[in-house]
Structure 1
Amino acid sequence: MPNYPVQTIASASDGSKSALEQLKKAFGALPNIAGAIANSRKLINSLVGLFGQVHSPGLTEAENQIVLLTDAVANASTYAVAFHTALALQQGISSEETTAIRERRLPTDKRFAALSAMAKALIEKRGHLTEPELDSFNAAGFTKEQVLEVIAIVAASTITNYTGTIANPPLDDAFLQHAWRG
């Protein structure tokens, strides 16, 4: 049972409406997690600001989804795992790669594996990465700047992962087929 109401654009406070409209435009529908986050105008507006940066030029959308799905699994956010599984598949990531991440394994694709390992290490080690971990990420073709981009993605996913766990919004029908139990 949800602990927080799932706001709609109509029911949200004036300070949250614009952010919800932006997310609805981006996704084509308003995910329940966004409606739960909208109970705090500060949090929903922070998410939208980060969202815009995460989905700006830099890592590809598929690479973003690898990080976001890995974060959701590392944080055991059932809502976010289902949500990002669906988005990863929409970005052309194979079901084998998404299944690997959902099972806490690395993808077989070298770049995806490096991204997934980096995201998991950032969360589990709270940013205290070793030089070999950073070197391994760079050896997969990533730059030092992209390490910082992954940090921005982790920050955005922390908002949704933690809110999903605390607010417990119902899983949208579109993501039910990707339901996950950690």
Structure 2
Amino acid sequence: MTRVPLIDPATAGTPAAELLTATKRAMGVIPNTTKAMANSPAALKGFLGLLDALKEGALPAALRERIALAVAEINGCAFCLSAHTYVARNVIKLDEEEITAARLGRSADPKAAAVLDLAVAITNNNGQVGDNQFTAAREAGLTDEEIVEVIANVAYNIFANYINEALDVDLELPVVAALSPAAV
């Protein structure tokens, strides 16, 4: 059971109600994670602001979803694995093989593979990555703008993972379990 109340948009005060309405506009639904975040309108505002900004960035939705899958897998966040598997499958239309590959930090697409290599290195090393990671990303064709956005997407997804895990947010989708350590 979620460790904080899930704020109901119908009874929420301002600014939480406005932010939850903005969530519905941005995501099409109001997930429990944002209802939990609404306990701190500042946290929800920051989350939505970064989401909106990244949607306008250089990385297309399919790459952002792959990053989300890889980061959620590393952090063992069942809520985010479930939500992003659903989006990858039903909205982005990635096939099952590519979804599993993304969770493992891999892709058949060379640019996606480079993005995931960088995202996984950043996540696994708490942001401490070497020049070799940046050289490999650039050699794979990533621009500096895309590299910075990979970092921002990792941070955005870590924030979501930590909110969901720390607050034990109730999942409203079928659960997607983390892969076994042997698979990774």
Same fold (TM over 0.5): yes
In the alignment, residue 117 of structure 2 is paired with which amino acid? A
Shift of 1:105: 4.7
Shift of 1:119: 1.0
Contact in 1 for aligned 2:70/2:105 (Cα 8 Å): no
Structure 2 matches for 1:154-173, cutoff 5 A? 154-172=154-172
Q: Secondary structure at the match of 1:11?
A: coil
Q: Secondary structure at the match of 2:88?
A: helix
- Note closer, same or farther for the CA distance 1:57–1:105 as it changes in structure 2 (3 Å cut): closer
Structure 2 matches for 1:44-123, cutoff 5 A? 44-89=44-89, 90-102=91-103, 104-123=104-123
What 5-or-longer segments of structure 1 have no aligned partner? Answer: none
What 5-or-longer segments of structure 2 have no aligned partner? Answer: 180-184
Q: 1:13 and 1:107 mapped to 2: Cα distance?
A: 44
Please give the root-mean-square deviation of Cα atoms over the aligned residues, in Å.
Answer: 1.6
In the alignment, residue 69 of structure 2 is paired with which amino acid? L
What is the identity percentage for the equivalent residue pairs of Structure 1 and Structure 2?
27
Shift of 1:26: 1.9
Count of matched residue pairs? 178
Structure 2 matches for 1:36-51, cutoff 5 A? 36-51=36-51
Q: 2:176 and 2:11 mapped to 1: Cα distance?
A: 27
In the alignment, which residue of structure 1 is the partner of 2:27? 27
In the alignment, which residue of structure 2 is the partner of 1:125? 125
In the alignment, residue 179 of structure 1 is paired with which amino acid? V
- Note closer, same or farther for the CA distance 1:153–1:9 as it changes in structure 2 (3 Å cut): same
Q: 1:145 and 1:32 mapped to 2: Cα distance?
A: 32
Deviations 1:12-67 (A, max 9, x none): 34222222111111222111111111111111011011011111131111111111
In the alignment, which residue of structure 2 is the partner of 1:180? 177
- Note closer, same or farther for the CA distance 1:72–1:11 as it changes in structure 2 (3 Å cut): farther
Contact in 2 for aligned 1:12/1:39 (Cα 8 Å): no
TM-score (norm 1): 0.90
Q: 1:131 and 1:38 mapped to 2: Cα distance?
A: 39
TM-score (norm 2): 0.89
Name segments (4+ residues, structure 1) moved above 4 Å.
none
Deviations 1:101-160 (A, max 9, x none): 33x351222122111111111111122211121111112221112111112112211221
Q: 1:105 and 1:160 mapped to 2: Cα distance?
A: 18
